[in-house]
Structure 1
Amino acid sequence: MCPGKRMDQPSPDVLHYKDKQLVSSLHLQLNLLRKEGVLTDVVLCSEDTELPCHRNVLAASSPYFHAMFCSTFQESSQPRVVLKGISAEALRAVLDYVYTGAVSITAELVLPLMQTSSMLQYGRLFEACSTFLQTQLGVENCLGMMRLAEALHCASLRERACEVAARCFPALTASDDFPGLSLAELTDMLGDDRLCAGEEQVFETMLTWIQHDLLGRRGSLHDLFRRLRLRHIHPTYLFQFVASHPLVQASPPCAELIEAVQRLLFSMDAAPCPGAMEEAWDSPRRDSCREALVLVGGRKNGRQTSRETLLYDSASEQWQGLAKLPVRLYRASCAYVQGVLYVLGGLVVSAASNKTGTPTDAVYTLSLKTNQWRAGEPMLAPHYAHQSVSSLHFLFTLGGVTPDGQLSGAVERYNTMFSQWEGMAPMPNPVLHPAVAAHDQRIYVFGGEDAEQNPVRMIQVYHMVRNLWCKIETRMVKNVCAPAAVIEDKIYIVGGYTRRMIAYDTKANRFVKCQNMKDRRMHHSATVINNKLYVTGGRYITNQDVIEDSDGFDCYDPTSDTWSSKGKLPHRLFDHCSVPLICVSSKFLT
Structure 2
Amino acid sequence: MVEETPDGLLFEDHDFSSDLLRQLDGLRHRRILTDVHICAGAREVPCHRSVLAASSPYFRAMFCGSFREKGQAKVRLQGLDPPSLEQVVSYVYTGQVHVTAQNALPLLEAASMLQFPKLAEACSTYLQGQLAPSNCLGLARLAEVFGCESLRRRAREVALTRFPEVAASADLKDLCAWELRDYLGDDGLCGEEERVFEALMAWVKHDPRARTRHLQDLLGQVRLLYVHPAFFHHAIASDALLQASPACRAVLEAAQRHMSSACWALPWVAPRSSYRDFLLLLGGRKESQQTTRDVLLLDRQAGQWRELAKLPARLYKASAVALHRSVYVLGGMAVSTGRGLVSPSVYVYSLKLNQWQLGEPMREARYSHGSTAHGNFIFSLGGLGEGRELLGSMERYDSSCNAWEAMASMPVGVLHPAVATKDQRLYLFGGEDVMQNPVRLIQVYHISRNSWFKMETRMIKNVCAPAVVLGERILIVGGYTRRVLAYDPRANKFAKCADMKDRSMHHGAAVLGGKLYVTGGRRLAPDCSVEDSAAFDCYDPETDSWTAQGQLPHTLFDHACLTLRGIPYSPALP
**For 1:86-119, what per-residue CA distance to the aligned partner results, in whole angstroms no more than 9, with x for missing partners?**
5676567667877987755333443343234433
Q: Which residue of 2 aligns with 1:270?
A: 263
Shift of 1:252: 0.8
Q: Which residue of 1 aligns with 2:346?
A: 364
**For 1:420-452, what per-residue CA distance to the aligned partner results, in whole angstroms no more than 9, with x for missing partners?**
43545958x998756544456555667878999
Contact 1:42/1:79, CA 8 A, preserved across alignment: no
Please give the TM-score of this superposition, normalised by the length of structure 2.
0.72
Q: Give SS of 2:308's match.
A: strand
Note the 1:273-284 alignment, pairs <5 A: 273=266, 278-279=267-268, 281-283=269-271
Aligned-residue Cα RMSD (Å) equals 5.4
**For 2:483 and 2:57, how far apart are their aligned partners in 1?**
64
**For 1:317-362, what per-residue CA distance to the aligned partner results, in whole angstroms no more than 9, with x for missing partners?**
531333423xx543332112235433335456685466xx86x7x3
Are positions 1:234 and 2:240 aligned together? no
239, 244, 247: which one aligns with 1:250 = 244
**For 1:437-481, what per-residue CA distance to the aligned partner results, in whole angstroms no more than 9, with x for missing partners?**
44565556678789996797x998877557787989998x98654
**For 1:43 and 1:566, how far apart are their aligned partners in 2?**
77
Q: Which residue of 2 aligns with 1:8?
A: none
Q: Give SS of 1:105's match.
A: coil
Are positions 1:153 and 2:147 aligned together? yes
Distance 1:588 1:75, change over 3 A: closer
Are positions 1:341 and 2:315 aligned together? no
Are positions 1:312 and 2:304 aligned together? no
**For 1:31 and 1:438, how far apart are their aligned partners in 2?**
77
**For 1:559 and 1:158, how far apart are their aligned partners in 2?**
42
**For 1:433 and 1:518, how far apart are their aligned partners in 2?**
22
Please give the TM-score of this superposition, normalised by the length of structure 1.
0.70
Are positions 1:138 and 2:132 aligned together? yes
**For 2:13 and 2:476, how far apart are their aligned partners in 1?**
64
Match of 2:135, as an amino acid?
A: N
Are positions 1:46 and 2:38 aligned together? yes
Q: Which residue of 1 aligns with 2:3?
A: none
Contact 1:407/1:432, CA 8 A, preserved across alignment: yes
Q: Give SS of 2:211's match.
A: helix
Distance 1:87 1:324, change over 3 A: closer
**For 1:148-205, what per-residue CA distance to the aligned partner results, in whole angstroms no more than 9, with x for missing partners?**
2232233432333233334444444544555444334443343344555443344344
Match of 1:344, as an amino acid?
A: L
542, 549, 552: which one aligns with 1:564 = 549
**For 1:79 and 1:493, how far apart are their aligned partners in 2?**
87
**For 1:329 and 1:502, how far apart are their aligned partners in 2?**
30
Note the 1:29-178 alignment, pairs <5 A: 31=21, 46-47=38-39, 48-52=44-48, 73=66, 82=75, 84-85=77-78, 104-178=98-172
Are positions 1:549 and 2:532 aligned together? yes
**For 1:75 and 1:588, how far apart are their aligned partners in 2?**
57
Residue identity over aligned pairs, in percent, reads 39
**For 2:425 and 2:221, how far apart are their aligned partners in 1?**
29
Contact 1:293/1:578, CA 8 A, preserved across alignment: yes
**For 2:331 and 2:231, how far apart are their aligned partners in 1?**
27
Distance 1:446 1:89, change over 3 A: farther
Are positions 1:421 and 2:405 aligned together? yes
Distance 1:77 1:489, change over 3 A: farther
Distance 1:271 1:470, change over 3 A: farther
Q: Give SS of 1:564's match.
A: strand
Contact 1:302/1:549, CA 8 A, preserved across alignment: yes
**For 1:495 and 1:26, how far apart are their aligned partners in 2?**
80
Are positions 1:324 and 2:312 aligned together? yes
Contact 1:555/1:565, CA 8 A, preserved across alignment: no
209, 216, 222: which one aligns with 1:222 = 216
Match of 2:288, as an amino acid?
A: G
Contact 1:142/1:161, CA 8 A, preserved across alignment: yes
Shift of 1:517: 7.4
Contact 2:521/2:534, CA 8 A, preserved across alignment: yes
Note the 1:575-586 alignment, pairs <5 A: 575-581=558-564
Note the 1:360-399 alignment, pairs <5 A: 362-368=344-350, 371-378=356-363, 384-397=367-380
Higher mean alpha-carbon deviation, 117-126 vs 386-395, is at: 117-126
Distance 1:198 1:167, change over 3 A: same
Contact 1:554/1:567, CA 8 A, preserved across alignment: no
Contact 1:292/1:311, CA 8 A, preserved across alignment: no
Distance 1:127 1:559, change over 3 A: farther
Q: Which residue of 2 aligns with 1:299?
A: 285
**For 2:53 and 2:486, how far apart are their aligned partners in 1?**
64
Q: Give SS of 1:322's match.
A: coil
Higher mean alpha-carbon deviation, 503-512 vs 217-226, is at: 503-512
Contact 1:299/1:576, CA 8 A, preserved across alignment: yes
Higher mean alpha-carbon deviation, 497-506 vs 481-490, is at: 497-506
Q: Give SS of 2:157's match.
A: helix
Give unpaired runs (5+ residues) of structure 2. Answer: 1-5
Contact 2:485/2:494, CA 8 A, preserved across alignment: no
Match of 1:46, as an amino acid?
A: I
Match of 2:230, as an amino acid?
A: T
**For 1:255 and 1:235, how far apart are their aligned partners in 2?**
16
